[in-house]
Amino acid sequence: MGNAQSPPANPRYASASRAFSKKELEDLKSLFASLAAQSQTNNQYIVPSVFKTYFGLHGPLGDRMFDLVSQQRKDQRLSFQDLVIAKGTYEKGTKDDIEEFIYQLVDVSGDGILARSDLESVLIAMFGTIFSEKDAELGPSSQKDVVDIFLNAATFSKHVEGSAEKSMSFEDFRNWCALLPSVKKYLASLLMPPDAGRPGSQVPCLLHGESVDSNMMLLRKEYAWHIGGAVSQQELEEWKLLYHSAYNGLSFNTFLGNISKDDGPTVLIIKDKEGCVYGGYASQPFERHGDFYGDMKSFLFQLYPKASIFRPTGANKNLQWCAVNFSSDDIPNGIGFGGRVNHFGLFLSASFDQGHTFNCTTFGSPCLSKTSRICPEVIECWRVVPKGKQGTHDAVKGSVLERFKEDRHMLNMVGLANSSE
Distance (Å, whole) CA 387 – CA 178? 25
Q: State residue 10's pLDDT score.
A: 83
The residue-averaged pLDDT of 7-12 equals 73
Q: Quick check: 421 pLDDT over 80?
A: no
Per-state percent for the chain, helix, strand, coil, to nearest 5: 35, 15, 45
Q: Quick check: 348 pLDDT over 90?
A: yes
From residue 367, how far is each of 217, 338, 343, 420 by CA, in Å? 23, 12, 11, 22
How many CB atoms within 10 Å of residue 244? 24
Q: Are 398 and 303 in contact (CB under 8 A)?
A: no
CATH class of 10-187: mainly alpha
Beta strand segments in 105-159, E? none
Q: Are 334 and 355 in contact (CB under 8 A)?
A: yes
Q: State residue 411's pLDDT score.
A: 37
Tell me: the pLDDT tens digits for 179-190? 999 999 999 999
Q: State residue 403's pLDDT score.
A: 41
Q: Which of 109-113, 115-119, 239-243, 401-405 has the lowest mean pLDDT?
A: 401-405
Q: State residue 136's pLDDT score.
A: 45
Q: Quick check: 321 pLDDT over 50?
A: yes
The residue-averaged pLDDT of 40-47 equals 96
Q: State residue 6's pLDDT score.
A: 45
Q: State residue 391's pLDDT score.
A: 59
Q: State residue 133's pLDDT score.
A: 53
Q: Quick check: 402 pLDDT over 90?
A: no
Q: State residue 100's pLDDT score.
A: 96
Tell me: the pLDDT tens digits for 44-61? 999 999 999 999 998 899
CA geometry: angle 286, 291, 294, nearest 5 deg: 50
Q: Which of 172-186, 332-346, 375-389 has the lowest mean pLDDT?
A: 375-389
Distance (Å, whole) CA 269 – CA 380? 5
Strands of the sheet with 299-304, listed across from one edge:
205-207, 238-244, 376-385, 266-272, 277-282, 299-304, 308-310
Query: Which residue did the predictor score with more confidence, 352 or 398?
Result: 352
Query: Which residue did the predictor score with more confidence, 263 or 174?
Result: 174
The residue-averaged pLDDT of 58-75 equals 94
The residue-averaged pLDDT of 207-216 equals 91
From residue 70, how far is each of 49, 80, 248, 321, 409 by CA, in Å? 13, 10, 56, 52, 70
Q: What percent of the chain has pLDDT above 70?
A: 87
Q: State residue 398's pLDDT score.
A: 41
pTM over 0.85: yes
Q: Which of 322, 319, 300 is nearest to 252 (CA)?
A: 322
Residue 198's pLDDT band, with cuts at 50, 70 and 90, is confident
Tell me: the pLDDT tens digits for 245-289? 999 999 999 999 999 877 889 999 999 999 999 999 999 999 999
Q: State residue 132's pLDDT score.
A: 67
What mean pLDDT value characterizes the chain? 88
Please report, for the chain, the start and end positions of each structural domain, with discontinuous segments joined by +: 10-187, 217-388+395-414
Q: State residue 393's pLDDT score.
A: 47
**Please, what's the b/e burial string for 150-175 (b: 16 or more CB within 10 A of its CB; e: otherwise)?**
bbebbebebeeeeeeebbbbeebbbb
Q: Are 398 and 260 in contact (CB under 8 A)?
A: yes
Q: Quick check: 414 pLDDT over 80?
A: no
CA geometry: angle 302, 304, 310, nearest 5 deg: 10
